[in-house]
Structure 1
């Protein structure tokens, strides 16, 4: 906590000294868990003056699935989610993995800097493999942390917002940067991890909120769909509403969702509903979510109606990212040849 606070103070004091790499895989629409977990923080940091690189990780979709269905549609939808949430494309570089070949060429020298044993014991890779629910996975999944290191280091990002579960990936990136600099000379910053302070939202079934589980409220979900999902959310048999995440996770998750949407303390939300029971809670959550999402939905609808604009945003971001990646790759070649 103290380390995160100190890093936040440095960012607040000199935002222009930081460059962030962040992003998502285009496997479906972003949801409220994404918004409160990462998107809102990206927008906050960008508005503070931090330079933002946002990766649409289309190549990484292939790490845990045989076919990337509807990929171009998902790429444009993800871009619309970013812009609707408040990311400014005139300042941020939003780009596609597949459109920056120099980025992916960094994989080979980076792989030479880590051992098989280091990749085998990476807990995040183990979790990703287990979550893929496949009998076997490709070698690309095994090298996922090195791929992520290339994503971060190609643009010389020195700050990476992550959840605690992503710290092992981040440590591989830091290791690769240090080892490259020690072996070939100073080329890369050793990026810091900016741990998210955002509370974790559960899905409507009480499990981790996930696009693949069907338990998430998408930013693009309409009012009726949102109401339906919240009506089916897990609660308990106690009519009195209280915010107690450890003992009443389903109820507390709904209270937290309403509190985040209203920017209020969850205990105050629970106290207002009191003995109203789950029905009153779900109505309050539905109203809060729909009101919160109303401007985001409206902006997203405008964006998706203009696919030419979305493609232009991506093309311009791809061009900027390519220029950065080519410069970095030239530096890497020069350093390795010296």
Structure 2
């Protein structure tokens, strides 16, 4: 099993969740036995510091993959901040916060390339040939793009949001990434990247498999809901526990979390989502099962559950917060990490773009 697949032009690429899950399971087996040849592309939009939903949902898994020997490329997607918002705020400050969280949780700049969109021109230039490989209807029916539009509260879709999946294809393919850790809702983006890679290879590379068709590595982590009972944690809604919060701030946030009136604590994600969410957070922080924690608390009620969760979370995050405090005192180091990553990314992107231009007969 390798992380790239060649799909015959006459055979539609598999798109079902079950097929993606099967491929993901096979990749996990490969990672466990021999991660050689796997190159992971992952990242976030810099909209500020990160929260425990990011940490338990993806950051911790990225560190795990790094430790298992998977080559890691981590994108600070600053250009993508403007895909769905009119006011971008303090981009530099947000990039710094994001980078601080990356390093604090254990992403190692000696083993991972951390870089910014806006600092790698050749990556963004790849969007032009890639856009020629997709149709307007294909872009318009991407469900995650529609979801982003709805979340932004807009009725008209901007051109950058419409082409968001193609920009993501450039993110992944410029470094020949063949592995992208995602949740189920991001599968359409990965499939669009696979289509772009396949069509480029067929149309411009004469059938040579220059770009790999990347696979989704599906997250094994449960979804962390917002503390207000919302569908997910969101900085804009204030329903999060930020990684940078103090233990006191964390306790205050958890104490305000929405629960229910039933005194006995049980793990029932469908019937009791808010209580089950706190149990999930506590379980992620302790390594225990939610059912085990629920049984221990028993008739202790929501108050006991909240204190248990806050204490477990604070204990788990203590070393991360200590490292974060150290990093905040050395902004020069943070800038140096990003500049080194940008330099490495530019070298790879320039080489990729040069080869693309050769394939397209555009070397003058």
Residue 288 (structure 1) aligned with residue 312 (structure 2): yes
- Counterpart residue number, 2:224: 201
Residue 303 (structure 1) aligned with residue 341 (structure 2): no
Deviation at 1:3, TM superposition (A): 3.4
**TM-score under structure 2 length normalisation:** 0.91
**Cα deviation code 1:220-247 (max 9, x no counterpart):** 1111211111111110111000111111
Q: Contact conserved, 2:174 with 2:348, CA < 8 A, in 1?
A: yes
Residue 216 (structure 1) aligned with residue 240 (structure 2): yes
* Structural mapping, 1:181-192, within 5 Å: 181-185=201-205, 186=208, 187-192=210-215
Which residue of 111, 115, 129 maps to 1:109?
129
User: How far apart, CA to CA, are the structure 2 residues paired with 1:83 and 1:292?
Assistant: 16
- Counterpart residue number, 1:4: 24
* Structural mapping, 1:242-321, within 5 Å: 242-321=266-345
Deviation at 1:135, TM superposition (A): 4.2
User: How far apart, CA to CA, are the structure 1 residues paired with 2:136 and 2:151?
Assistant: 21
Mean Cα deviation higher: 206-215 or 84-93? 206-215
Q: Secondary structure at the match of 1:78?
A: helix
Quote the RMSD (CA, aligned, Å): 1.0
- Counterpart residue number, 1:87: 107
User: How far apart, CA to CA, are the structure 2 residues paired with 1:330 and 1:3?
Assistant: 31
Q: Contact conserved, 2:149 with 2:155, CA < 8 A, in 1?
A: no
**Cα deviation code 1:73-106 (max 9, x no counterpart):** 1101100100000000011000011000000000
**Cα deviation code 1:107-150 (max 9, x no counterpart):** 00000000000001110100001111134342101100000000
User: How far apart, CA to CA, are the structure 1 residues paired with 2:247 and 2:33?
Assistant: 40
* Structural mapping, 1:66-77, within 5 Å: 66-77=86-97
User: How far apart, CA to CA, are the structure 2 residues paired with 1:304 and 1:97?
Assistant: 23
Name the structure where helix makes up a greater proportion of residues.
1
What are the ranges of 5 or more consecutive residues in structure 2 without an aligned counterpart? 1-20
Q: Secondary structure at the match of 1:161?
A: strand
What are the ranges of 5 or more consecutive residues in structure 1 without an aligned counterpart? none
| Number of aligned residue pairs | 338
- Counterpart residue number, 2:7: none
User: How far apart, CA to CA, are the structure 1 residues paired with 2:234 and 2:26?
Assistant: 31
User: How far apart, CA to CA, are the structure 2 residues paired with 1:136 and 1:72?
Assistant: 28
Which residue of 200, 203, 211 maps to 1:180?
200
Query: Residue 336 and residue 66 in structure 1: after superposition, are their counterparts in 2 closer, same or farther (change >3 A)?
Result: same
Q: Secondary structure at the match of 1:16?
A: coil
**TM-score under structure 1 length normalisation:** 0.98
Residue 118 (structure 1) aligned with residue 142 (structure 2): no
**Cα deviation code 1:290-314 (max 9, x no counterpart):** 1111111110011011000000000
Q: Secondary structure at the match of 1:22?
A: strand
